[in-house]
Structures are given as C-alpha cells and as structure tokens.
Structure 1
Amino acid sequence: MARPFRAKWLLLPLVLIVIVGGYAAWQYFSKWESTDDAQIDGHIHPVNVKVGGTVVSVSVKDNQPVEMGTVLVQLDGRDFEIAVSRAEAELADA
C-alpha cells in the first residue's frame, strides 16, 4: 500500500510543473504576434549626380549607413580630362 501513496506524491509535483510551465510558456508566447503579411515603412532617399561617367570603384557596401558628403563611387576621369583639354584649346584659339 505504500507504493501507490508514494506514486501519487511523485506525480503531483510533476503535474504542477507541467501546469506552471505551460502557463509560463503561454504568457511568454502570447506577447509575440505572428503574421504572414507583414508590412514595414521605408524611406527612399534619391542619390543625384552632377556628372555622368563610367564607375571605376564603389566605396560602400550594401545597406551600409553613410553620412551626407560621403564618396559613394569613383568615376573614370579620362573623359573629363579630354573635355577640359578641348575647352582649353578652344579658349586659346579664340
């Protein structure tokens, strides 16, 4: 007869632990909302250039934060050097 009485005392804490653990898990996971159609707000900031040209190197990585005035890309300067030389030659001829 001692065995069934002992089994009840061992089973009772196990049942209480399961109940308390289930309640704690329910409290924890009920704070998180799950959705399949999440939406976020985004802000588009245009990047304008003063001149066009061939890109030689890109100085930043994807999603890297930058400050205003940071050099993002370097352009091939040969086209501009030729244009300046022509303009100087035309100015000298005038």
Structure 2
Amino acid sequence: MENKRADDTRTQDAQGNDSPSDSNKLGPIRRHPYIAAIIAILILLVIAAVVIWWLNARHYEWTDDAFIDARTVTVGAEIAGRITDVAVTDNQPVEAGAVLLRIDDSDYQA
C-alpha cells in the first residue's frame, strides 16, 4: 500500500508542478504581447496600403505593347467656322442630339 501512495504522490507532483519549463511552453504571442501587437498593426497597415493602391491603380490602363482597345467616335462638323462656346467637359456623358459646341455665325449673318 505504501508503494501505491508513493506512486499517487509522484503523479500529483508531476501534474501540479509549476516549474520554469512551463513558462517556456507559452506561445510567443503570450510571451511578447507588445511585439505581437506591433506586428499585427504593421500587417494591417500593409493590407490597407495594398487596398488603397489597388483602388487607385484600377482606374488606369497600362500595357507593355502600347496598344489599348477603346471605342473611338469621330466628331465632324457639317460647316466650318470658329467655335465660340463648348457645352461639354472632358469625359462627360452626352445624349444623342445634345449640343456639344456653338460655332460663330457672323459669316452667315453677313
């Protein structure tokens, strides 16, 4: 019976023993919380920078061979003259039949 009690005490000592080797078993995040927080913040900053770059860069076309596919429209006037007023701005959507510009009509008035 004494052997059984001695075995039980050894088992309890092994289970309840708080030795310094237990602190080495903690993960690196629990051992260094400030360094882990700094690394997490840096990772978030890198992700934010990549997202901002992507949101900005996706609006620009680029190519290695200098050819970009696009729809082109030729605008030509039926009469010649000086332009006095431009009614649209760059990249403004316009409807069919809308006035784009006004031509000086002083030659036709004379």
> How does the TM-score come out when normalised to structure 1?
0.52
Query: Which is bigger in relative contact order (C-alpha 8 A, separation at least 6)?
Result: 1
Task: Give the share of equivalent positions with the same residue, in percent.
Answer: 31
What secondary structure is seen at the aligned counterpart in 2 of 1:9? Answer: coil
- The partner residue of 1:50 within 63, 78, 83 is 78
> How does the TM-score come out when normalised to structure 2?
0.45
The corresponding residue for 1:91 is: none
Q: Return the alpha-carbon distance in structure 2 between the equivalents of residues 68 and 44 of structure 1.
A: 16
Q: What's the CA shift for 1:10?
A: 3.0
State yes or no: 1:67 paired with 2:95: yes
Q: Return the alpha-carbon distance in structure 2 between the equivalents of residues 53 and 76 of structure 1.
A: 6
* Structure possessing the higher radius of gyration over alpha carbons: 2
* CA RMSD across the alignment: 3.6
Q: Return the alpha-carbon distance in structure 2 between the equivalents of residues 9 and 64 of structure 1.
A: 62
**Superposition pairs of residues 78-89 of structure 1, within 5 angstroms:** 78-82=106-110
Q: Return the alpha-carbon distance in structure 1 between the equivalents of residues 78 and 63 of structure 2.
A: 43
Aligned length: 67
Structure 1 stretches of 4+ with a deviation exceeding 6 A read: none
User: 1:46-78, CA deviations, whole angstroms, 9 ceiling, x for partnerless residues?
Assistant: 112111111101110011111221111111111
